[in-house]
Amino acid sequence: MSGQEVIFHGVGVAPGIARGIVFLHHPDDEEPPKRKIDDTEVAKEIVRFESALIATRAQILEMQQRIAEAIGAKDASIFDAHLLVVEDRTLIDEVLRNLEREKFNVEFIFAEVANRYARTLSEIDDPYLRERAFDIHDVTRRIIRNLLGRSAKTLGTIDLPQIVVAHNITPSDTATLNRQLVLGFATDVGSRTSHTAIMARSLNIPAVVGLKDISQRLHPGEHVLLDGTNGVLILNPTDQTLWEYGEIEIKLEKVEEVLTGLRDTVSTTADGRHVILSANIELPEDVPLVVKAGAEGIGLYRTEFFFLNKSDLPSEEEQYAAYLAVAEAIMPQSVIIRTLDLGGDKFLTHSHLPAEINPFLGCRAIRFCLERPDIFKAQLRAILRVSVVGNVRVMFPMISGLSELRQAKEILEGAKTELREEGKSFNENIELGIMIEVPSAALVAEALAREVAFFSIGTNDLIQYTIAVDRVNERIAHLYEPTHPAILRLIEMTVAAAHGQGIWVGVCGEMAGEITLTPLLLALGVDELSVSAGLVPRVKKAVQTLDTKECSRLLEETRGLLSATDILARCEEVAQLHYPELLN
């Protein structure tokens, strides 16, 4: 290794240590850089632009030829519109005029002009012209990639073990990820509840987020050491640094050995209270991790990841096959299949949904499903058909009140009626649950509890919506407080409403995997915790060392505290007393 050691500090979101070379990931839709140029550089920028147009045209023609050979010329004709964009003189001439007038680098000028064209077309009430807007977006990304000299690489192109460094890792990135070859994640942005953090903990991969501009400062192939426990990334670690971390790894391995030995034990407190401990998954290939971790089933199957990065919607049969594979693999334990939670930070590439100013407050999750009953019913039919296996439950996300729940139940009943008429089997008594992740749902939980078999509290969104803090915005990450008194009251209210109607309640948000908060969640009376597979052994160990009476005393003490920081500090004291080896 060469070069001076450089240490970067971020936020550790998934524990562990990784050493390896950098895989630098630049998403296709990254904003091009903006750089002022002088008169002498204009001619050079025009040459760069013309070269990028020629290269893009050649790539489209090559892709068209490959598709024509593989599936026929008719399907390949969809790229004719892309060629028209590359050859559009009106667009090209405006770029050249703006380049002469404004004197910025050509990729910045081109992106501005092309995005304006696409925006204008997308607002026209004509399906054909609106489609052209998506062609422009697609070709724009390709031309900008060629101008920047970048290949169109996804995380699926990783072909040897590396540490992924990126501005951010999106749900769409995850769907293409070769998970066996990722040693760790390091990103510019993010928080403990960002998608990168959740995924890293699920896969037991070390991760550091909030490293500001790390994706601009590192280069592919550089050697780094990643410390996901302390939130540190070290470029060109010295022999001394490597030795010190080697000693830390030995201690961590001893803790892991103890945790591995808990696999076949149950999550029962020291005084005999059993808390169901399940795992969250995103894709069918995650199931072996759940089994290996010793979880009691799957408490949250996020089905939207099956829909991402596809050229078209998955059919009912494709969904049936995927859900059946999960249900059979986890037998005899159960699986809770959550219906589509699209929107927010997860979008279909082919949905052509208009951009929203506040996507997390927009047409997402159950709202999207109610607006598109065709997509919703196809998914429900697939889930119902799989339910004959006997271990399948279904859950609706982001229910905000009784009206939405009843509309969704109506579509579920319609799917059941269709299957009966077609003579297709399903479990008539499939259990239906809902996620409590909107404050309004917690406030009317008693009415909702009369209509379903269980609740699952999605703390990530419940906290975000209650405190009005964008959970992926690192500028206000310090305001995202799971121990805010309002959050604890909403959870307690939800549990009381559920138990009052004789139904069980779980927690499937990231709060469930925070072992400093385990004593508090037990005291609040939750019946189930569903966490990232990699965290199952730690949470199990925490539960087994706790006593419910002590947890209850903790809850009573926190009632007198008005500060989230004070409540968290008290929780940490209890956790340190019982399982310090998991925290230090």
- Residues forming the active site: 195, 508
Report CA-CA distances (Å) from 274 to 180, 444, 584: 34, 28, 26
- Token pair belonging to 513: 């995997």
Contact between residue 480 and residue 467 where contact means Cβ atoms under 8 Å apart:
yes
State which amino acid sits at residue 183: L
Tokens of 189: 């942005």
> Would you give the distance in Å from CA 477 to the centre of its chain?
17
Q: Which two tokens stand for residue 99?
A: 């380049």
The answer to whether 280 and 532 are in contact (CB under 8 A) is: yes
Residue at token pair 């259990």: 431
Contact 194, 470 (CB under 8 A): no
Which residues have C-beta within 8 Å of that of residue 42, sequence separation ≥ 6?
Answer: 99, 100, 103
Whole-angstrom distance, CA of residue 45 vs CA of residue 33: 14
Contact 211, 186 (CB under 8 A): yes
Listed residue (36, 21, 51) closest to 148, CA to CA: 51
Q: Which of 338, 330, 333 is nearest to 305 (CA)?
A: 338
Cα→Cα distances 252→263, 295, 527, Å: 17, 21, 30
Cα distances from 270 to residues 4, 124, 209, 267, in angstroms, run 50, 65, 36, 10
Helix (H) or strand (E) holding 292: helix 287-293
Six token digits for residue 149:
């000299």
State the Cα–Cα distance between residues 186 and 207, nearest whole angstrom: 6
